[in-house]
Amino acid sequence: MPLRLNNRVALKLRRRELRSSLTPAEARLWTALQHRKLEGRKFRRQHSFGQFVLDFYCPSEKLAIELDGAAHDSEQADAADRRRDGFLASAGIRVVRYENRAVMGNLEGVLQHIRGYFGS
C-alpha cells in the first residue's frame, strides 16, 4: 500500500483545530478563496501534505499558500520554512508566502499575485 501524503489521519485533529482558530488574515483570505471565488479554482484550507499542514492548497494548480506572521521572524523558523518548502517542491507543489499584513492591507494585490500562478 502506498504511503498516504494528503490529509493523513494522524493530522486530522490538528487540521480541525487550525480551521476553527483562523487568524484574521487567514479568515480574510479564505473568504476570497472559498467556493471557487478566485478564477473558479478549488482551494482547501488547512490541508495536510506529508507531515505538514498547509494554510491553503489548490489541488488543480498544485499551489500551496502560506501566511506568515511574527512566528516566522526568526532564523530557526526561516530554516524550518525552507525545509518544508523543499519537501513540497520535491512533490511538485509550488509554495507562495505572504505576510499577514499584506493580506490585511492589500488583499486585491495578493489575489492578483496568486492569479499569476494559475496555468491557462
Nearest CA among 74, 79, 92, 70 for reference residue 25: 70
Domain ranges of the chain: 1-56
The predicted structure's pLDDT at residue 99? 94
The predicted structure's pLDDT at residue 7? 73
The predicted structure's pLDDT at residue 1? 46
| Average pLDDT, 10 consecutive residues per value, the chain (120 residues) | 65 75 92 97 93 94 91 76 94 96 97 91
The model carries a pTM of 0.85
Distance CA 3, CA 50 (A): 9
